[in-house]
């Protein structure tokens, strides 16, 4: 490592094509939901649902103690209403984080049960996304009952959802770049239960590669994972300020 190059750090990075710390190419879903282009709107809707449907479903089950069938309907109905009524457009980044705003909207939606039922009946013309509610139910059954306040539980589920999305993107990225071994090494090192987690030496021997290859692949996977986390956060936040705050929260010390 040479002498400090602080003054030129930015330009050096842009010249050698190193990744930017905060990606700027991913447009916020909130902006995209208001787009005139149907395809962009639809993509934004999918991203929003992918990031939030599990926290929403579990919140309805736990906070409102609704049956699984009711919770399924309310989850679908909530996202459909969000798209149809454009109530997410009322979000003010100065007042709250987007996920907090979304939870407040959800509580209002569920509380107004009669209205929710009407919306569900009218919901035939809005997209009903295929969601794996059975998996969400299995997760609820597997997890211990939440000890923290239910609002914090929503935030924890949000974090889980964001990280799961990022891991999924890492998997798809590794597949697209024909590097399945990279994701496999990552999965064994970070996703497996502690008891089954192998050492680097065991992984190296399992895959017939050197230990340094394992550490290099994992370094690359962590780098790509970080990029994926930031990309997801960029998409599901409304402003640069909110994005930075969420990024600090997810990748910093203050776990939600």
Partner 1 sequence: MTWLSDDAVARVRAAASEPDLTGTRYRLVGPLASGGMASVWIAEDTTLGRTVALKVLDEPDQEARTVARLEHPSIVPVHDAGSLADGRAFVAMKYVEGRRFDDFARDATPAARLRAFQRICEAAAFAHARGIVHRDLKPQNVVVGEFGEVVVLDWGLARPIDARDESRTIAGTPGFMAPEQARGESARVDARADVYALGAILQGLLADSRPAKRIEAVRRRAMAPEPEDRYPDASALAADVARFLDGLPVSAYRESAVERLGAWAARNRAALLLVAAYLAMRAAIALLARV
Which residues are near partner 1 by CB under 8 A? 1-2, 4-6, 9-10, 12-13, 18-22, 50, 135, 139, 143, 159-160, 163-168, 171, 186, 190-191, 193-194, 216, 219, 221-223, 225-227, 229, 244, 247-248, 250-255
Closer to partner 1 by Cβ: residue 1 or 38: 1
**Tokens 């770049």 belong to which residue?**
177
Tokens of 93: 């980044």
Q: How far is the CB of 48 from partner 1 (least distance, A)?
A: 15
Candidates 137, 68, 76; CA nearest to 106 is 76
Reference 242, options 142, 47, 96, 73; nearest CA is 96
Taking each helix axis from N to C end, the angle separating 98-111 and 113-122, rounded to the nearest 10 degrees, works out to: 100
Of 7 and 178, which CB lies nearer to partner 1 in the complex structure?
7
In the bound complex, what is the minimum distance in angstroms from residue 202's beta carbon to partner 1? 17
**């697209």: which residue's tokens?**
176
| 8-state DSSP, 92 | -
Give whichever of 18 and 178 is closer to partner 1, judged by the CB atom: 18
CB of 78 to partner 1, least distance (A): 20
The minimum distance between CB 227 and partner 1, in angstroms, equals 8
Q: Which of 251, 179, 249, 252 is nearest to 220 (CA)?
A: 179
Q: How far is the CB of 178 from partner 1 (least distance, A)?
A: 20
From 162, 228, 242, select the one nearest 25 (Cα to Cα): 228
> Which parts of the chain are beta strand (E)?
none
Q: Which is nearer to partner 1, 117 or 140 (CB)?
A: 140
Nearer to partner 1, 154 or 186 (CB): 186
Closest CA to 78 of 38, 47, 39, 123: 123
Quick one: 124 or 145, whose CB is closer to partner 1?
145
CB of 121 to partner 1, least distance (A): 30
């Amino acid at each position: 490592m040479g002498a400090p190059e602080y003054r030129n750090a930015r330009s050096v990075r842009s010249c050698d094509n190193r990744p930017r710390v905060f990606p700027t190419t991913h447009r916020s879903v909130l902006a995209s939901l208001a787009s005139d282009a149907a395809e962009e709107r639809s993509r934004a809707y999918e991203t929003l649902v992918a990031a939030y449907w599990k926290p929403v479903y579990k919140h309805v089950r736990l906070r409102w103690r609704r049956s699984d069938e009711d919770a399924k309907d309310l989850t679908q109905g909530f996202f459909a209403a969000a798209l149809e009524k454009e109530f997410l457009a009322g979000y003010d980044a100065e007042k709250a984080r987007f996920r907090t705003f979304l939870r407040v909207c959800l509580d209002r939606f569920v509380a107004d049960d009669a209205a929710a039922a009407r919306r569900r009946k009218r919901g035939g013309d809005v997209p009903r996304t295929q969601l794996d509610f059975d998996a969400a139910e299995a997760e609820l059954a597997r997890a211990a009952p939440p000890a923290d306040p239910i609002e914090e539980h929503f935030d924890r589920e949000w974090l889980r959802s964001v990280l799961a999305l990022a891991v999924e993107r890492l998997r798809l990225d590794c597949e697209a770049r024909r590097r399945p071994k990279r994701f496999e090494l990552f999965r064994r090192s970070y996703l497996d239960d502690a008891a089954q987690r192998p050492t680097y030496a065991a992984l190296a021997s399992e895959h017939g590669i050197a230990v340094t290859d394992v550490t290099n692949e994992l370094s690359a996977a962590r780098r790509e994972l970080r990029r994926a986390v930031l990309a997801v956060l960029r998409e599901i936040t409304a402003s640069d300020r909110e994005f930075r705050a969420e990024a600090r929260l997810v990748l910093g010390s203050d776990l939600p």
